[in-house]
Chain A
Amino acid sequence: MFSNNTAKDFSTFTYALKLNGNIVKITDDFYLKKDFSENSLQLFSKWIIADGNDLMTNLLERKITDSVKRSSYLKKLTPPESTIGTWPVWFVKFHKLPVVVGDEIEVWKYNFHLKEKAFILTDSTLVTEQIVTDEK
Chain B
Amino acid sequence: MKNNSTLQLRQISAYRIVFAILLVEILIYFFCDIHIAAFVNNTFIGFEQDPLLWFIYFTGLPQLILSNSYLSYFIDISILLLLMGLIARPLNSVLAIVLFLILFIFYAVFTAHLGHRNYQSGYLLILLPLLFRNVKSRQIVFEFTRYFLLFFYISAAFFKFKSGSFLSIDHLSHAIVNQFTPYFLEQANSIRTAFNLYLITHHNLASFLYITAAILEFSAIIGFFTKKFDKYLAVIFLLFHFGNWFIMDIAPIGQIAFICTLFFSQYFAWKNVNPPS
Contacts and interface: CB of A to CB of B under 8 A. Distances in A.
Contacts of B13: none
Interface range, B side: 35 or more
A4 interface: yes
A87 B43 contact: yes
Given A43-B115, A94-B33, A110 B185 contact: yes
Given A7-B174, A31-B32, A55 B181 contact: no
A108 B196 CA distance: 24
Contacts of B160: 2-3
B47 A86 contact: no
A31 B197 contact: no
Given A25-B186, A36-B34, A10 B177 contact: yes
B44 A14 contact: no
Interface string B29-71: 1011110001001111111110000100110100100000000
A55 B159 CA distance: 25
* A contacts with B: majority SS: mixed
B114 A39 contact: yes
A121 B185 CA distance: 8
Given A3-B156, A7-B174, A118 B181 contact: no
B177 A6 contact: yes
Interface in A22-79: 23, 25-36, 38-40, 42-44, 47, 54-56, 73, 76-79
B177 A12 contact: yes
B182 A27 contact: yes
B113 to A, nearest CB: 6
Given A31-B251, A55-B49, A76-B58, A14 B182 contact: yes
B172 A27 contact: no
B83 to A, nearest CB: 17
A39 B44 contact: no
Given A6-B177, A79-B44, A117-B197, A26 B34 contact: no
A80 to B, nearest CB: 6
Interface in B15-36: 28-29, 31-34
Nearest to B197: A117
B38 to A, nearest CB: 7
Contact of B200 (A5, A10, A77): A10
Contacts of B1: none
A97 interface: no
Nearest to B118: A35
Nearest to B190: A27
A13 B172 CA distance: 17
A83 interface: yes
Given A35-B249, A36-B114, A39-B114, 6 more contacts: A2-B171, A2-B172, A5-B168, A12-B177, A39-B116, A119-B184
21 contacts: A2-B160, A6-B177, A14-B182, A16-B185, A31-B245, A32-B28, A32-B34, A33-B33, A35-B249, A36-B114, A39-B115, A40-B114, A55-B46, A56-B46, A76-B57, A77-B54, A86-B43, A87-B44, A90-B41, A114-B177, A117-B201
Interface of B: 28-29, 31-34, 38, 41-49, 54, 57-58, 60, 63, 113-116, 119, 156, 159-160, 162-163, 165, 168, 170-172, 174-175, 177-178, 181-186, 188, 197, 200-201, 210, 244-245, 248-251, 253
The 10 closest A-B pairs by CB, nearest first: A43-B115, A32-B32, A3-B159, A14-B181, A33-B32, A27-B188, A31-B251, A6-B174, A119-B184, A87-B44
